[in-house]
Amino acid sequence: MKLSAGHRRVPPVYAPRVSSSASRPSGIFPPLDPKTSTSTVEMRVRFCETDLMGIVHHASYLVYFEAGRVEWLRRRGVTYAEWAERGVHLPVVEAHASYRAPARFDDLLAVDTTLAELRSVSMKFAYVIRRGETKLVEGFTRLGCIDASHKLIRIPDYMRDVLSAGEP
């Protein structure tokens, strides 16, 4: 598919397997409902997150992504610590951010976090950071599922159940 300049292909949102289908790539599951797979958290920009120009440093947005992801899980009744106690870890293996407009000290930001893709051994969260209606940053992180010895493992069913559930 050829796209014109300034346009990009947006990947579909995927969820745990309900039935098998030859049309989907192996290890990717049926689409998730974006209404139940998105959570929003508000954050205020702290002074320590800005540079000498008073603009949020580009690396701070990755911290905002993580805060959004942790809250996304918390709203579904789980913490990373609980999964780590079971010997399952979710390290970030890929991160991307596209910057549209700057945020500044004391701005109130909304971080929209969406589980965009769920595969057999990884998941992808998409983020939009806004100030009011102004979109500041879009991005994503991919997390791999590993055991306590850092070996790649399939995402356990109990985790899939949480990941595919909406906020209560």
Query: Degrees (nearest 5) of the Cα angle 33, 168, 81?
Result: 95
Provide the CB-side half-sphere exposure for 43 (13 A, CA): 26
Select the more confidently predicted residue: 51 or 4.
Answer: 51
Is 51 assigned a catalytic role? yes
Q: Which of 33, 51, 147, 161 is catalytic?
A: 51
9 part of a folded domain:
no
86 part of a folded domain:
yes
Say what percent of the chain tops pLDDT 90.
71
Task: Identify the CATH number of the domain in which residue 73 sits.
Answer: 3.10.129.10
Q: From residue 157, how far is each of 32, 137, 163 by CA, in Å?
A: 16, 32, 10
Tell me which residue of 72, 59, 55 sits closest to 131, measured CA to CA. 55
Domain of residue 67 covers 38-164
- In contact, 94 and 65? CB cutoff 8 Å: no
7 part of a folded domain:
no
Tell me which residue of 67, 62, 82 sits closest to 141, measured CA to CA. 62
Mean local confidence (pLDDT), 33-54:
92
155 part of a folded domain:
yes
22 part of a folded domain:
no
Q: For 94-124, how does the pLDDT look when each residue is reduced to its tens digit (9 = 90+)?
A: 999 999 999 999 999 999 999 999 999 999 9
23 part of a folded domain:
no
Say how many domains are in the chain: 1
- In contact, 148 and 89? CB cutoff 8 Å: yes
1 part of a folded domain:
no
2 part of a folded domain:
no
